[in-house]
């Protein structure tokens, strides 16, 4: 059976490991409802975007196996990655963040290919229109074998000054996420998130 893979960054691994301990100790009734809640959120995004893999998320929870921990952790990775990444750029000056070993290459290639793309406020068509896909495809494919799981799905914010919400989130590939967020960090687009958090703390 095909599965939908989601991007889990280095800084999420510890969080994920800790979560698995609590999930393992949780009551099955809680696991069922917790998974269903996350499943509905993720499916809303995928259904809206018409992504390949929507079928996998439309399957009932028990289709993913008998171990409820696997069901929950699968959904938690996408849901928690969004929260962890947003907390990261809220707590650390984004301009100092390094997301991959290839940040320089990704950024230079991205801005060479997408010179006019407004990364501060993305539109769905910037990633999903037929014309955009024709440009994104070769851009992403050049990093195959260089970025682990380069084409797996992750969540990307449309408006960089806002948190992850249903109306501010779009599904993107892992390479697209890196390209946009590296550019946002370097060009100061994510500064508003960091300064807002500092002002309120």
Residue 163 and residue 111 in one domain? yes
Say if residue 103 is in the same domain as residue 173. yes
Higher pLDDT, 49 or 145: 145
Residue partners of 76: CB distance under 8 A and separation at least 6 = 16, 19, 23, 38
Angle subtended at Cα 52 by Cα 134 and Cα 111, rounded to the nearest 5 degrees? 35
Q: What is the pLDDT of residue 75?
A: 55
Check whether residue 84 and residue 133 sit in a common domain: no
48 and 129 share a domain?
no
- Domain of 123, CATH number, reads 1.10.3560.10
Of 111-115, 149-153, 163-167, 173-177, the one with minimum mean pLDDT is 149-153
What pLDDT is attached to residue 46?
45
Residue 125 domain-assigned?
Answer: yes
Residue 196 falls inside a structural domain: yes
pLDDT on residue 200: 74
If DSSP codes are grouped into helix, strand and coil, which group holds residue 26?
coil
pLDDT band at 196 (very low <50, low <70, confident <90, very high): confident
Domain extent for 37:
10-90
Percent over 70 (pLDDT), the chain: 61
- The whole-number average pLDDT for the span 95-106 is 95
Top pLDDT among 152 and 88 is at 88
* Domains identified in the chain, total number: 2
Tell me if 4 is assigned to some domain: no
Lowest average pLDDT, out of 50-54, 104-108, 196-200, goes to 50-54
Question: Is pLDDT larger for residue 154 or for residue 140?
Answer: 140
Is 140 found in the same domain as 83?
A: no
Burial class (CB in 10 A: 0-12, 13-18, 19+), 11: middle
164 near 82, Cβ under 8 Å?
yes
Domain-located, residue 1: no
- Give the model's pLDDT for residue 146: 96
Average predicted confidence (pLDDT) for the chain: 74
pTM for this one? 0.66
Residue 115 covered by a domain: yes
């Amino acid at each position: 059976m095909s599965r939908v893979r989601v991007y889990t960054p280095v800084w999420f691994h510890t969080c994920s490991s800790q979560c698995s301990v609590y999930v393992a100790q949780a009551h099955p009734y809680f696991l069922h409802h917790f998974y269903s809640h996350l499943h509905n959120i993720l499916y809303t995004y995928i259904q809206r975007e018409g992504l390949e893999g929507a079928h996998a998320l439309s399957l009932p929870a028990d289709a993913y196996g008998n171990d409820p921990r696997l069901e929950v952790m699968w959904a938690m990775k996408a849901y928690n990655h969004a929260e962890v990444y947003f907390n990261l750029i809220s707590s650390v000056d984004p301009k100092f963040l390094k997301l991959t070993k290839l940040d320089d290459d990704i950024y230079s290639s991205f801005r060479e290919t997408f010179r006019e793309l407004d990364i501060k406020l993305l539109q769905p068509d910037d990633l999903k229109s037929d014309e955009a896909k024709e440009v994104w495809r070769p851009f992403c494919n050049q990093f195959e074998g260089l970025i682990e799981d380069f084409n797996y799905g992750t969540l990307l914010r449309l408006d960089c000054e806002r948190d992850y919400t249903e109306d501010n989130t779009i599904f993107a590939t892992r390479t697209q996420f890196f390209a946009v967020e590296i550019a946002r960090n370097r060009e100061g687009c994510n500064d508003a998130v960091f300064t807002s958090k500092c002002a309120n703390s």
